[in-house]
Structure 1
C-alpha cells in the first residue's frame, strides 16, 4: 500500500478494505432511520426520571439484554 492509499482497517494482516459499497451505505442509513423512533421512545420515557442519574446508563444497558435473560 502506498502512502496515498486509504486504509479502512487498522488490522495489519490482509489487504486494505475498500469501505462500504453504495448498497451497504444505503442499508446502514435505512437501519439508522428505523432505529430513530424506538430510540427516542426509550430515552424519553418518563420511567428514566425515576432512575438515579448515576445508574441510567447501566439500566439502559440491562434493558438491551432483557430478551436474552428471558430466554434463559
Structure 2
C-alpha cells in the first residue's frame, strides 16, 4: 500500500494524512492493523470441484438430503 510505502520512506503521519486527504487516525489505523491475509478457521473438507458436484446434484434433485448426496 502507498501509505505503508510512504512511512517506510520516512514520511511522518501528518504529511501522509495531507497527501491522502484523510485524518491521522486513519493513517495510524492503517499502519497498526495486523496482517489479515492469513486464513483462519477450520480447513475445508471439500474441494471446489466437489462443491460444484454437490450443487449440481442438489439442483437436479432438490429433495435429497446431505446424507444421500454424500452416498452418491
What is the TM-score with the length of structure 2 in the denominator? 0.26
Higher relative contact order by CA 8 Å / sep ≥ 6: 1 or 2? 2
More helix by share: 1
TM-score by length of 1: 0.26
| Larger Rg belongs to | 2
